[in-house]
């Protein structure tokens, strides 16, 4: 099976690096799926989006991603996020509190929505 090198990096840390067979991301142009051999591409991630990685070995990786960019070549994908967190790291109750807070900013609402969706996608995986 074909593989590609994938890096998921946020400003504060590198979340994941390894070989994968598929990456999907929410971009300003819509949802995109990347497989090895994809045409070169540079895209902008949406605020409050999700990135999903299917590694060669192990379980699917899902992260809530808050803005940033990604770069694609035939053999690699680099996700450079302003901030990101694995679904397993999400405090769902805190995210739901933000969603129910009428005083939360639009940015806080989008980030909380992404966190909840990341956890829900993990549960459905």
Pairwise CA distance, residues 75 & 85, whole Å: 24
Q: Given pLDDT bands bounded at 50, 70 and 90, which one contains residue 70?
A: very high
- CA dist list (Å): 46 to 24, 107, 118: 13, 11, 14
Above pLDDT 90, what percent of the chain? 66
Question: Quick check: 125 pLDDT over 90?
Answer: no
The pLDDT score that the predictor gives to residue 96 is 87
The pLDDT score that the predictor gives to residue 39 is 96
Sketch out the chain's domains with CATH numbers: 1-125 (2.60.15.10)
More confident residue, 90 or 41: 41
Q: Across all residues in the chain, what is the average pLDDT?
A: 92
Q: Are 38 and 23 in contact (CB under 8 A)?
A: no
Question: Quick check: 1 pLDDT over 80?
Answer: no
Phi, psi of 23 (to 5 degrees): -135, 135
The pLDDT score that the predictor gives to residue 50 is 94
């Amino acid at each position: 099976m074909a593989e590609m090198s994938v890096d998921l990096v946020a400003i504060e840390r590198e979340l994941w690096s390894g070989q994968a067979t598929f990456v999907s991301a929410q971009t300003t142009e819509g949802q995109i799926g990347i497989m090895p051999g994809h045409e070169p591409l540079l895209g902008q991630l949406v605020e409050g989006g999700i990135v999903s990685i299917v590694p060669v070995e192990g379980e699917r990786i899902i992260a809530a991603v808050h803005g940033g960019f990604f770069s694609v070549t035939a053999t690699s994908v680099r996700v450079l996020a302003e901030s990101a967190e694995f679904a397993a790291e999400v405090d769902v109750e805190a995210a739901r509190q933000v969603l129910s807070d009428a005083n939360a900013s639009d940015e806080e609402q989008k980030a909380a929505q992404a966190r909840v969706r990341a956890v829900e996608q993990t549960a459905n995986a």
